[in-house]
Structure 1
C-alpha cells in the first residue's frame, strides 16, 4: 500500500495508507458521525471543498451501487477512514468503495486514529487540512496554510445545475414548484414527486423572476455548500419570492438563505453538525426528532422571542438539543418556513420526512386563499414511508 499523510493547519499530523485516488488535496477537515450512508455522504454536494472523516471505524462494508447516489458525482476534497472494508458484502453492491473513489478522483487516507482526529477537531474546531501520497508533512502544511478558508467561500454555483430540468410528479400532478439548486440531492424531488409535486430545478443564480416565471405553486431552497454570507444572489432571489408571498420551504443552506433574506445574520459553527443522529426539538409540538445534518454555518436568531423583520415576525421553530443552535425558522406573516436539517432522509433517519407534506399543505392553503404563515410543526402521520 502507498503511504499517505494527513496534515491539519495547526501542524497535527497523521500517517496512514492511501485509500482511493493518489495525489495531493486540501480542504476543510470535518467529521461525519453516521454509522452508515457513506455513499450518500460522498455524493452530497454540501460536502464540496471538505475533507470528510468518518467516525464509524468500518467503512465500505456494503460497497457501492447505482441507486444511492445523491448527485452526478462525488464532491468531498478528501476522505478519511480508519478501517476500510477488505471486501464488500451486500446484495445491492455493484462495486467497491475504494474503486469508486479512484474513479471519481477522491484522494483518501486510511489506517489513522479517527477518534483522535475527531477529538482534535472538536477541541480546536474545523480547520484546513491536506492529504498527500507525494508530499512530506512540511511541504503539505505549506500547501494547507496557503489554501482558502471555508469562511467566505461561495460554492453553490460550482455544484449547481447549469441548465434547468424537470422532475415529474408520480401519478397525478397536484402542484408545481421551482427549486433553487444550491446543491440539491436527488432524494428531495423524489420525495416531492411521491406527493404529486412536479419540480422544476433551476441553477443557483436564478433570479426571483426566473423562479416565478412559470407560475409555480411554491418555491423550494435546497441544501448546499459554502458560506451563506457569500450568496447574495440567492438572498435577493428569496426576497423576491417573499415579496410575491409565494409558499416557500428551505432546508439546510436554504434555511440560512431564508434567514439572511429576512434580515437575520449567520455565523460559522466551531465544528458543525454532520451525521445522521442529531436530536432536534420541534418547539411548536414539543416533540423531538432524530435528524440528518450537514452544515458548518447557522442562523443567528433569538430563541426566546419572535424577531421583527421586513416580512413580519419570524420565530425559531426548531432547536438543536446538543448545543441550542437554530434548526428551523417559521414566518408568522408570510407563507415561508425552513429547517437546518435534511428531511429527505438520504441516508436516514426518516423522522423529518413529513416536512415535505407540510410544504404541500402550505401550497394547498395558498391555492385556497387561506395561507398566511409558515404553519404548524411537522405532522408525523403524513410520512410517505419512502426508504432511500
Structure 2
C-alpha cells in the first residue's frame, strides 16, 4: 500500500490516479485528518503492508502542512521509500533542517527545462526534460545538510528541482510529475513504484499526460481516516 498525504491540492488526485493506473493500492489522508502517531502505527503494522509514502503538493510552507514533515521522519526512521512533490519536497528538506525561502520569481503553470543526475527516481529520464512548475517557495541549497544532495535543477533560473537522501530511499521533486506539462512524469512515478515494490510500474513507463481517469479516487472519497 502507498500512503498519500494530501496537502489540500487538486494535483493530489492526478498523483493518486497515476499510481492507481499502475495497479497500486493507494490510501489518501488529509494532512490534518490523522495525527503523526497514527502514521507511525500504520508504518509499524505489518497487516497494513505500507510500502511507501507520497507527500503531495499544496499551498503554504512545510510548517502549514500538518503531518507532512513528521511523515518524512517516520519514513526515514523505518527506511520506507518516500516521494515528496513540490510542498512535499520542501517538507522533506525541512525535516532535515534545510530552509525554505522565497523563489527568485513566482512560477505558476509554466514548464521549465530541468537537468538532473540520472539516478534514483530520475533514472531513465532524458538528460534534460520539460517539467511543470507551480511554486513561489524553494529549497535554499546552501542550507541542505550533507545527507541530502541536489539531484535536479531548472535551467532558466537555477532553482533546486530535486533532492535525494544519500543513504535512504527518500526523494523529492519541486516540479509536478503528475502534470500534463511534464511528459516524462509517469516514468518518474513508475520508478517510485519499482522502489516501493507496489503495483505494476511498467504500466506507467510509456504513459504521458495527466491521469484524469474515470472511476479512480476523487477528492470526495477522502474521509477523516483516509480512503483506498
**Normalising to structure 1: TM-score of the pair?**
0.46
Which residue number corresponds to residue 344 of structure 1?
178
SS at match of 1:315: strand
Once the two structures are superposed, the pairs formed by residues 370-381 of structure 1 within 5 Å of their partners are none
In the alignment, structure 1 residue 211 sits paired with structure 2 residue 39: yes
- Please point out which of 109, 124, 133 is paired with 1:293: 133
Greater relative contact order (CA < 8 Å, ≥ 6 in sequence): 2
Cα separation, 2, equivalents of 1:292 and 1:386: 11
Residues 279 and 334 of structure 1, relative CA distance in 2, 3 Å threshold: same
CA RMSD of aligned residues (A): 2.5
CA distance in 2, matches of 1:336, 1:383: 24
Shift of 1:284: 3.0
- TM-aligned CA deviation for residue 302 of structure 1: 4.2
| d(CA) in 2 for partners of 1:187, 1:237 | 21
4+ aligned runs moved over 3 Å, structure 1: 206-209, 229-233, 385-388
Aligned match of 1:282: 116
Equivalence map 1:319-334=2 (5 Å): 319-334=153-168
State the distance in 2 between where 1:208 and 1:269 align.
Answer: 29
Compute the displacement of 1:181 (Å): 0.6
The 1:281–1:275 alpha-carbon spacing in structure 2 relative to 1, beyond 3 Å, is same
| In structure 1, distance between residues paired with 2:7 and 2:65 | 10
Taking a change above 3 Å as real, the CA distance of residues 307 and 279 of structure 1, as seen in their structure-2 partners, is same
Cα distance change on mapping 1:272 and 1:361 into 2, 3 Å? same
The whole-number CA distance in structure 2 between the counterparts of 1:280 and 1:245 is: 28
Distance 1:256 1:383, change over 3 A: farther
How far the C-alpha of 1:331 sits from its partner, in A, is 1.0
Specify every segment of 5 or more residues in structure 1 that has no aligned partner in the other structure, as ranges: 1-175, 366-378
1:140-193 C-alpha deviation (Å, 9 max, x unpaired): xxxxxxxxxxxxxxxxxxxxxxxxxxxxxxxxxxxx111111134221111101
Residue number in structure 2 paired with 1:353: 186
Q: Whole-Å Cα distance in 2 between the matches of residues 245 and 209 of structure 1?
A: 17
CA distance in 2, matches of 1:355, 1:302: 26
- Aligned match of 1:362: 195
Count residues with an aligned counterpart.
192
> Among 90, 107, 131, which residue is 1:273 paired with?
107
1:255 maps to 89
Matches within 5 A, 1:87-236: 176-184=1-9, 185=11, 186-205=13-32, 206-212=34-40, 213=42, 214-231=48-65, 233-236=67-70
List per-residue Cα deviations over 1:277-328 (Å, max 9, x = no partner): 211111336711101110111111249xx842xxxx2210110111111111
Q: Is structure 2 residue 206 aligned with structure 1 residue 383?
A: yes
Is this contact kept in 2: 1:283–1:319, CA < 8 A?
no
TM-score by length of 2: 0.75
CA contact (8 A) 2:52 2:196 kept: yes
Shift of 1:231: 3.9
* Larger Cα-atom Rg: 1
Q: 1:253 to 1:387 in 2, by over 3 A?
A: closer
Alignment partners' CA distance in 2, 1:277 and 1:319: 13
- Shift of residue 236 of structure 1? 2.2
